């Protein structure tokens, strides 16, 4: 995942965008309601509320928040504390998500908010994902779904991507924005660890075009070391359901962290899961870990480790394995597995050339599974 505008983001979107990305600001006069937006996926349990948006199923007391900090109880009802209050509003290349086989060369309105239900120990965006919306959100301008579409139209963006924090935690807002974008004929992308209930997935997935899934580790033990997720089974299932039940375009990312998920056994197991659960044509991005947050004491992932992962992934039958967070590496390009020619050449910040027609290699006709609006 591209690094979000973190240290700046606390002062609101306009200040954040000056640090990185194309600056976009919420439309003037967009104040929204001062009352928290009522949330979905909850039930009363005595004088507390049970949230079942995700498998944590937090039992929350009055005037308190769940683990994600983005959902709390006010006057006996569950509310979304971040609805309509993005902490980041950025115009980004879709490749930064990373999504390599989904509308390559386009830019998306990239929205991120406060809070997270996965809480990775090495999170590069910890200033927003670990922030407390109770104190931070009121500083942010309100961005309605309609204004989000207008912003995308104004800057000629092809769609919206929910990114930088876990989009599950403000799923009501994601739903409403995606609904508005779909109605406008623009694409939607969900950048996620997929830790949500099947009921919540059924609510949001019909509005999603792309589902970028973070495969943290090959085992439950590995997930628990890297995040607050103890049992990744619901997350793994969500990626499969997003593809098979709802027809989402799915790509998988694994951030390779030294000493935690970087052995040959780890890499082979993750490659096999992608192949067996999602199919050999599913793009798998092996990204370089960069020290941050609680893992700042570690060294960056050696590039040789990533290259070994590429070789192991291909050996296990994956047709599209990419290196991430290493600018200029040839493994960022899409190479046709049929004829061996480069089909998409990626530069430092943008697509340099595309040799694809109707999702197929322009040279030999091999199906590359690349989604484009225009060929």
Q: Which of 102-116, 159-173, 298-312, 340-354 has the lowest mean pLDDT?
A: 340-354
**CB-CB contact of 121 with 294 (8 Å):** yes
| 223 vs 225: CA distance, rounded Å | 5
10 Å CB burial of residue 154 (0-12, 13-18, 19+) is exposed
Query: Is pLDDT above 70 for 25?
Result: no
| 74 vs 255: CA distance, rounded Å | 37
In what helix (H) or strand (E) does residue 250 lie, and over which residues does it extend? strand 249-256
> What percentage of the chain exceeds 70 in pLDDT?
91
**CB-CB contact of 161 with 109 (8 Å):** yes
Q: What is the pLDDT of residues 340-373, one digit of tens each?
A: 999 999 987 789 999 999 999 999 999 999 999 8
Tell me the pLDDT band of 24, cut-offs 50, 70 and 90: confident
Q: Where do the domains of the chain lie, and which CATH numbers do they carry? A: 9-25+85-332 (3.20.20.70), 37-80 (no CATH), 336-375 (no CATH)
357 by DSSP, 3-state: which?
Answer: strand
10 Å CB burial of residue 362 (0-12, 13-18, 19+) is middle
Query: Is pLDDT above 80 for 8?
Result: no
Q: What is the pLDDT of residues 28-71, one digit of tens each?
A: 545 566 678 999 999 999 999 999 999 999 999 999 999 999 99
What is the residue whose two structure tokens read 């929204």? 32
pTM of the model: 0.92
**CB-CB contact of 80 with 130 (8 Å):** no
DSSP string, 185-217: T-EEEEEE---S-HHHHHHHGGG-SEEEEE---
Q: What is the pLDDT of residues 102-112, one digit of tens each?
A: 999 999 999 99
Average pLDDT value for residue range 331-348: 96
**CB-CB contact of 175 with 203 (8 Å):** yes
DSSP string, 287-344: EE----GGGTTSPPPPHHHHHHHHHHHHHTT-S-EEEES-TT-GGGSEE-TTT--EEE
Rounded CA Rg of the chain: 20
- DSSP class of residue 167 equals G
């Amino acid at each position: 995942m591209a690094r979000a505008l973190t240290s700046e983001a606390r002062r609101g979107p306009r200040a954040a965008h000056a640090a990185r990305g194309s600056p976009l600001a919420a439309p003037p006069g967009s104040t929204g309601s001062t009352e928290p937006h009522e949330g979905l996926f909850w039930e009363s349990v005595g004088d507390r509320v049970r949230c079942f948006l995700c498998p944590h199923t937090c039992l929350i007391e009055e005037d308190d928040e769940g683990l994600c900090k983005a959902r709390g109880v006010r006057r006996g009802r569950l509310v979304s504390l971040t609805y309509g209050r993005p902490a980041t509003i950025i115009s980004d290349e879709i490749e930064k998500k990373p999504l390599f086989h989904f509308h390559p060369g386009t830019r998306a309105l990239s929205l991120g908010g406060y809070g997270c239900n996965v809480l990775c120990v090495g999170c590069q965006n910890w200033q927003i994902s670990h922030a407390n919306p109770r104190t931070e959100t009121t500083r942010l301008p309100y961005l309605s779904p309609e204004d989000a579409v207008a912003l995308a139209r104004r800057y000629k963006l092809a769609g919206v991507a929910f990114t930088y924090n876990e989009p599950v935690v403000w799923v009501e807002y994601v739903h409403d924005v995606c609904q508005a974008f779909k109605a406008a004929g623009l694409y939607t992308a969900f950048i996620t660890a997929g830790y949500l209930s099947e009921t919540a997935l059924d609510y949001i997935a019909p509005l999603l075009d792309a589902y970028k899934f973070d495969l943290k580790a090959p085992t439950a033990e590995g997930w628990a070391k890297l995040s607050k997720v103890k049992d990744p089974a619901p997350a793994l299932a969500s990626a499969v359901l997003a593809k098979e039940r709802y027809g989402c375009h799915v790509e998988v990312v694994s951030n390779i962290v030294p000493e935690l998920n970087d052995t040959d056994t780890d890499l082979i197991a993750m490659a096999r899961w992608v192949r067996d659960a999602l199919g050999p044509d599913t793009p798998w991005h092996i990204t370089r870990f960069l020290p941050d947050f609680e893992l700042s004491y570690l060294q960056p992932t050696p590039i040789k480790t990533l290259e070994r992962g590429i070789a192991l992934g291909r050996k296990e039958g994956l047709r599209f394995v990419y290196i991430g967070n290493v600018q200029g590496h040839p493994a960022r390009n899409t190479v046709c597995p049929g004829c061996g020619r480069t089909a998409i050449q990626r530069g430092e910040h943008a697509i340099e050339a595309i040799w694809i027609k109707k999702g197929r290699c322009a040279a030999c006709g091999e199906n590359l599974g690349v989604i484009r609006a225009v060929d």
